[in-house]
Chains A and B, each alone.
Chain A
Amino acid sequence: MYKYIIRRILVFIPMLIVLSIIIFGLAKAAPGDPFTGRMLDPTIDPKVYEQQREALGLNDPVPVQYVNWAARMITGDFGESMYYKGRSVASLIWERMPNTLYLGLFALAITLIVSIPIGIYSARNPYSIFDYGATTFGFFGLAVPNFFFGLIAIYLFAIKLGWFPSQGTITGTDVAGLQEFFDRIHHMVLPGITLGLAGTASYMRYMRSEVLDVLSSDYIRTAKAKGMSDRNVLYKHTLRNAMIPIITLMGFEFGALLSGAIITEQVFSYPGLGTLFINSITNRDYPIIMAIALLLGVTILIGNLLADIFYSIVDPRIRYD
């Protein structure tokens, strides 16, 4: 087991190197640089930008730029942002990461709390009115684009009813303590539900079909034939087996948690990694693009590794040597 984990982690290194080369190449292949989109003010001499390019090393050949970047990376230095003057990439990411994490976890919690019970109930009562209702809701959740649902939610719950704030993470600078905690939760409700909606739908469908699948398998019939109570069949045999694909899903979700729902963050002006990533791409802020992409790469790899490890715990048929 430990050998397996160490082997997996060692494989990460070449994967990350390849990933970084691809991302660097793609980012550089995109036309424009941090200055092209901004240089539209006739009072500013374009030579100024030329000097700044030179200072940032943007005029070096791309492989040289990559090596320079990678050399700094190895020492743990993510470099300086090209757009946010005088800010280090690390500080920008640290500043945004908590917001995205809270929102992601909040959304995931909503997703799991809602989807798993509904999925199980639907599977136990297939083709009932409840099941059809849940299925309809599921397809609705998958079909409605996030941003649209977000706007509807803002219109209804923030503007018309005034129950929840629609923008940002906090009311003001003057709330503190427990109040701040509730204020932040209050701000997270709408984006959290919006973000969780699509996930809820897919988890629910997964859960339903897995439970249905397991319920019709031979060992469940055997268990029932032995006279085991429905309750025991469900909790001891069915759920365990049905949870396996959900755990895989959650492994992937790890990356999604960090990347946040880029669009949801935009709609709710929620300052997280997603908005930072989008802004950095439009501004060709290469150091930030690289750092976030790598961060996502690492979390997804770790998420998958964790999912594999949990597999072997949940499902004894799976063994790693």
Chain B
Amino acid sequence: MFKHRLRLLLISLLLLLGLVLAACGNEDDTTEPQDDPGETEDANKDGEGQEEEGEKEEASGPTSGGTLTGAMYSAPAGMFNPIFYEEAYEANILSFTHESLVGQNESLEFIPGLAKDWETNDDQTELTMYLEEGVKWHDGEEFTADDVVFTYKSIADPDYVAAGGIRTAYVTPLLGYEEYVNGDTDEFQGVEAVDDYTVKFKFAEPNINPLYYASFTIIPEHVFGDIPVSEMPEAPESRQPGQVIGTGPFKFSEMVEREQYVLERHDDYWQGAAYLDKIVWKVVAQSVMSGLLESGEIDFVADPNGIQPADFELVQGLGNITIIEQPDFGYQIMGFKHNHRTADDVESGTLNPDNWVPNEKLSNPEVRQAIAYAINREGLIDGLLYGRGAILNSPIAKQFWAYDESETTNYTYDPDKAASMLDELGYVDTNDDGFREDPDGNEWVLNFDYPTGNELREKSAPLIEQMLEEVGINVNLRQPKEMSAYVEDLTNDNSDWDLYLIGWSLGSADPDPTGLWGTMAAYNFSRWNNPDSEDLLKQALKAPDAFEQDYRKEVYKDWQKLYSEDLPAVILYAQNSLWAYNDRLQGVEPLPFTMYNDPHLWWVNDAE
């Protein structure tokens, strides 16, 4: 009897022991004895060397060698094919490994990239690009005009969207896109290789910004040529280190999925091999970022989040870090629902301004203006962004030539003016509940919705509610919704929404605001319907007048004035990008839209 029990006791103890051992045993399985351990020792030596030399005087000129470690807060989804990736995290890697025909300079003009020169015909329906010769892909093959044609043909492919591609905007204006994507023809006329180093883009209609359409990242035909577009996303050539091939100064050589992404120097880079041996991207939690910068474990952090405004002073105080502070191209708004759609239109997904139902609560532009005066935007920037942001008086980024606030109404915080405007309009408190009623004496409650996901935006909602209540506006601030749910509700707007918060992150290619503020734009969540605005937006894009930037600038000036008066949304603030890097990194020349400018010229002052 006792023996029996003893055995059972042993079993249960063994079980415990087994668990402990299993923890170790499983570890062992993952050990892959492939490389000789010598490599690791070398790496360690490097590490020690860096520490010692970091204290020495700065070297005078660029030296080759060294490893740089960058951080991002979320892991890339793993799609390293420029025509299929979607997120800024992949872009972090692709901006080092792949290139486009043209880039942009400080004043946002297009500059030569893989194309050294170009010309357009008179009506700007044709753009001829002359390519750099002797450019080598990472695998040693030569880059030619066929690669360009192949890239655009892939995006125009009938299977492209179903396979998960979203970049069709680059090919829709090209000649013959409709026929090709519908499968009516096998010949894509839009992009044509004239010879090995000349490629011609043909547009269906005169195009005012043809270089933008030629600025897409190029993928190699010799790698993807035999893979049908529908199978490209799962192909190892789109996701595996060593098999992702570009022309950039670094090649994607190794990864620990979702943790580390290693880029190695591409020795045959056409602009000369990079100084750095390696760039290692690590995925780290945002909460520990400043600590990692301090300890030197991370050398730089940039897009998409950079460092937090609240950490600015902390990071600046570390002493070993340089911060690049620049305005972002995007902005945060509080929108006014001018119109709602009908339930039928929402059901069928129709955008038909004729059916829209005006939102009586906000239909008077002066009411919207009064609300704008009641919002202390300066206060939001100081309080929430710690001053790391700017007021924007029109929905075009300040860095663009098109931004012009000379004739816009700028709503400087003025609660008294807001109150008196509302008084004059007849919005007064008639039943002594502390809130204004509308001119007919009815309750006037503005519903206010906002999404989660952006901490600063979340915090701004109750502050704005308070500001509006101070001038006597009854605001019904509702529970925030998670982004996916929020956008769905914002889109299906046969609802009682009045005020909403949203943020836009925008590109640097062209200031045209039609995609957000055109009446028929899906993202025109205010359902703003102003025929004058439509006219101006169309004028600004109309060939041939719009070939001249000065002409467009004038038109946009008028449009921005109109926008600020009719006010589909109050632009709350444009947050500054805060990018940071360790002082051991030299040669950084940031552009308004990226820190990764000519990374082949980056070097570290403690390389061996």
Number of B residues, CB within 8 Å of A:
88
Known: A167-B288, A177-B31. A36 touches B256 (CB 8 A): no
Q: Which residues of A are found within 8 Å of B30, using beta-carbon distances?
A: 98, 102, 180-181, 184
Residue A143 lies at the interface, judged by CB distance under 8 Å to chain B: no
Residue A162 lies at the interface, judged by CB distance under 8 Å to chain B: yes
Chain A 236-273 interface mask (CB, 8 Å, partner B; 1/0): 10011001000100000000000000000011110100
Q: Across the interface, do A177 and B12 meet the contact criterion of CB distance under 8 Å?
A: no
Q: Across the interface, do A155 and B23 meet the contact criterion of CB distance under 8 Å?
A: no
In the complex, chain B residues 542-569 whose Cβ is within 8 Å of any chain A Cβ: none
B27 to chain A, nearest CB (A): 6
In the complex, chain B residues 251-284 whose Cβ is within 8 Å of any chain A Cβ: 254-260, 262, 280, 282-284
Q: Which residues of A are found within 8 Å of B75, using beta-carbon distances?
A: 271
Q: Which of A105, A179, A266 contacts B26 (CB 8 A)?
A: A105
State which of B188-196, B458-466, B482-490 sits at the interface with chain A: B482-490
In the complex, chain A residues 5-39 whose Cβ is within 8 Å of any chain B Cβ: 30-33, 36-39
Q: Which residues of B are found within 8 Å of A154, using beta-carbon distances?
A: 287-288, 291
Q: Which of A41, A84, A166, A173 contacts B77 (CB 8 A)?
A: A84
A96 — nearest CB in chain B belongs to which residue? B258
Q: Across the interface, do B22 and A105 meet the contact criterion of CB distance under 8 Å?
A: yes
Number of A residues, CB within 8 Å of B:
78
Q: Which of B40, B167, B285 contacts A268 (CB 8 A)?
A: B285
In the assembled complex, the Cα of A84 lies from the Cα of B233 at a distance in Å of 9
State which of B139-147, B352-360, B379-387, B515-523 sits at the interface with chain A: B515-523
Q: Which of A84, A112, A158, A240 contacts B78 (CB 8 A)?
A: A84
A137 to chain B, nearest CB (A): 21
Known: A85-B233, A173-B262. A45 touches B86 (CB 8 A): no
Q: Which residues of A are found within 8 Å of B484, using beta-carbon distances?
A: 30-33, 36-37, 282-284
Residue A149 lies at the interface, judged by CB distance under 8 Å to chain B: no
In the complex, chain B residues 474-506 whose Cβ is within 8 Å of any chain A Cβ: 481-485, 487-489, 491, 502, 504-506
A167 — nearest CB in chain B belongs to which residue? B284
In the complex, chain B residues 18-51 whose Cβ is within 8 Å of any chain A Cβ: 19-20, 22-23, 26-28, 30-37, 39-40, 43
Known: A173-B262, A184-B30. A159 touches B292 (CB 8 A): yes
Chain B 151-164 interface mask (CB, 8 Å, partner A; 1/0): 00000000001111
Q: Across the interface, do B280 and A86 meet the contact criterion of CB distance under 8 Å?
A: no
In the assembled complex, the Cα of A164 lies from the Cα of B483 at a distance in Å of 36
Q: Across the interface, do B35 and A174 meet the contact criterion of CB distance under 8 Å?
A: yes
Residue A49 lies at the interface, judged by CB distance under 8 Å to chain B: yes
Q: Which of B22, B161, B259 contacts A52 (CB 8 A)?
A: B161
Q: Which residues of B are found within 8 Å of A44, using beta-carbon distances?
A: 166-167, 169
Known: A48-B161, A52-B161. A105 touches B23 (CB 8 A): yes
Q: Across the interface, do B9 and A85 meet the contact criterion of CB distance under 8 Å?
A: no
Q: Which of A32, A166, A179 contacts B488 (CB 8 A)?
A: A32
In the assembled complex, the Cα of A168 lies from the Cα of B43 at a distance in Å of 18
In the assembled complex, the Cα of A283 lies from the Cα of B483 at a distance in Å of 10
Known: A83-B77, A109-B20, A168-B282. A174 touches B43 (CB 8 A): yes
Q: Across the interface, do B515 and A269 meet the contact criterion of CB distance under 8 Å?
A: no
A64 to chain B, nearest CB (A): 19
Q: Across the interface, do B20 and A51 meet the contact criterion of CB distance under 8 Å?
A: no
Chain B 327-365 interface mask (CB, 8 Å, partner A; 1/0): 000000000000000000000010000000000000000
List the 5 closest A-B pairs by CB distance, nearest first: A32-B484, A86-B233, A42-B515, A86-B234, A31-B485
A-B residue pairs in contact (CB < 8 Å), sample of 9: A52-B166, A86-B79, A98-B26, A112-B20, A159-B288, A173-B260, A176-B34, A180-B30, A282-B484
